[in-house]
Amino acid sequence: MDSINFEIILNYTMKTFSIKPPSSYMSLIEIIREKFDLTIVNRLVYIDDDEEIEIKQDSDYLQLLDYVDANELKEIDVIIKSQETKKSKAKKSLRKRSSIHKPNSNTQAAASYGDDCLNGKSFV
């Protein structure tokens, strides 16, 4: 692997880090986990002719190396997608909006209703 003269640019949530290509897919995963402090790496992709090519195993990683060699690239972006980002987006989307109109609680009106009413309607 010493003859490889290109860099892999790891891109996770717009944070980038350049590395020399590791010897295997699992080594790449370990580097990603360490550099970006991730526990789960869901997907690794690179772009080839406006198409995302997923890296799932060693054979896919070797295809990446062949692609770089065939196109004589000096660097390639590998985009990292992790479960942690999905969780944070879900948490944000479930928050209550502060601009939602809150009903006025009129304590005097609430006190005038007796036990024989439900939601402001009297039942006899």
Q: In order along the chain (124 residues), what is the average pLDDT of each group of 10 residues?
A: 79 94 95 93 91 95 94 94 59 57 57 61 64
CATH tag for 7-85 (out of 3.40.80.10, 1.10.4000.10, 3.50.50.60, 3.10.20.90): 3.10.20.90
Q: Report the relative pairing of strands 7-12 and 75-81 from DSSP bridges.
A: parallel
- HSE value, Cβ hemisphere, 13 Å, CA-based, for 15: 7
Read off the pTM. Answer: 0.63
Tokens describing residue 120:
């402001």
The domain ranges of the chain are 7-85
**The residue type at 1:** M
- Which residues are CB-neighbours of 87 under 8 A, at least 6 positions away? none
Q: What are the DSSP E strand ranges found in the chain?
A: 7-12, 15-19, 43-48, 51-54, 75-81, 117-118, 121-122
Q: Cite the DSSP H helix spans in 51-122.
A: 58-71, 83-93, 107-112
Residue whose tokens read 């003269």 = 5
Tokens describing residue 25:
């897919």
pLDDT at 82: 81
